[in-house]
Amino acid sequence: MLTLELTPSKFEAIQAALPGGKGWIRVNNRSYLHADLALQRPTGRYVSRLVLRITNTLLSGVHIRTLGHNAMPGLLFPQLDPAKGLSQIPIWPKGYKLLIANVLGMESIRDAITIPAQPFMVLELDSSWQSFEDYLGAMTTKYRTRAKKALKLAEGCERVDLSDVPAEEWIPWAAKLLRQTLKDKTVTLPVSLEELLKSFKSSLGKDFRVYGYRKEGEWLGFISAIVDTETVHAMHMGFEPSYAQHSQFYQRSMMDLVELTILEGRARLNMGRTATEIKSTMGAQPVENQFVFFAKGLVVRTLLKVYARYFHRLNPYTLRNPFRQM
Q: What's the pLDDT tens digit per position in 273-320?
A: 988 999 999 999 999 999 999 998 898 899 889 888 988 888 899 999
CA distance 219 to 210: 13
Rg (CA), the chain: 20
* 320 close to 280: Cβ distance less than 8 angstroms: yes
* 122 close to 285: Cβ distance less than 8 angstroms: yes
The pTM of this model reads 0.91
Domain ranges of the chain: 8-117+287-311, 122-285
Homologous superfamily (CATH) for 122-285: Gcn5-related N-acetyltransferase (GNAT) (3.40.630.30)
* 101 close to 73: Cβ distance less than 8 angstroms: no
**Environment class of residue 162 by beta-carbon count within 10 Å: exposed (0-12), middle (13-18) or buried (19+)?**
buried
pLDDT digits (tens, 9 = 90+) for 198-220: 999 999 999 999 999 998 889 99
Residue 155 backbone class (left: φ over 0; alpha: ψ -120 to 50; beta: rest): beta
Query: Which three-class secondary structure string do you get for 155-187?
Result: CCCEEEECCCCCHHHHHHHHHHHHHHHHCCCCC
Mean predicted lDDT score pLDDT of the chain = 88
Q: What is the mean pLDDT of residues 226-235?
A: 97
Three-state DSSP class for 65? strand
With a cut of 70, say whether residue 260 has pLDDT above it: yes
